[in-house]
Structure 1
Amino acid sequence: MNNDPGVLTLPVISEKNAPNIHVEKSEVILSGYSDLLKKFMPIQSSGDVKLLIKEPVDLKVMDMKKDYLISYNFTFGGLPVAVVSQNVFEELDKQKDPKLQLENSQYNAVNIKR
């Protein structure tokens, strides 16, 4: 985690793993942003963000959703999840910082249809 109040460490997933979400290469959607979290940590629902990796990536926040897409264990205590395009996700994966990876950083899920 980062101690700079202007920097927020968030989990990132590909749109490929987010049902009913589509983003372009320059866009991001934040999901898992609950009403309770809004009271304690207000985040602008639109604007520009920068993913701070070896080669920073500028993205535009397109929307904020309440849907929880990944397990609480992977959200740094309930923070929103950044949903990015598959291309951006692959770039992030190549440049990820091992110090930020959780001990168990793999999450497997199965969707069961009724």
Structure 2
Amino acid sequence: MNTFSINQRSKLGCTILDLQGELDAHTASELEAVLQDLIARENLRIVVNFDQLDYIASAGLGVFMAYIEDVRSEGGDIKLTNMNKKVYNVFDLLGFPALYDILDDESEAIDKFSNS
């Protein structure tokens, strides 16, 4: 069985989502529910920390694609940080770096929100 968890925390007006484990078809609904809740509560400055994410499947990528426009249309953004090479390569292969800010660490992402 795949293990996956999301830890939520706030830092300088941003919501940080720490992903851990494997994000795939079985676990994508958990991320979807968290993003829906953040949008409903108008927490639209979202930083997703991939530091502890070991694997992402197309279903996980689909969740990001499904919600980026909703967040941006409300004046927010989703920034992605701390990806290992394997996870980054999946995002890169599908052209995500052209659509998302993919940054080395969360402080860099928070700074981008502060300066926007």
What's the TM-score once normalised by structure 1's chain length?
0.29
Q: Which has the greater radius of gyration?
A: 1
What's the TM-score once normalised by structure 2's chain length?
0.28
State the structure with bigger RCO (CA 8 A, min sep 6), 1 or 2: 1
Report which of the two has the higher share of strand. Answer: 2
Report which of the two has the higher share of helix. Answer: 2
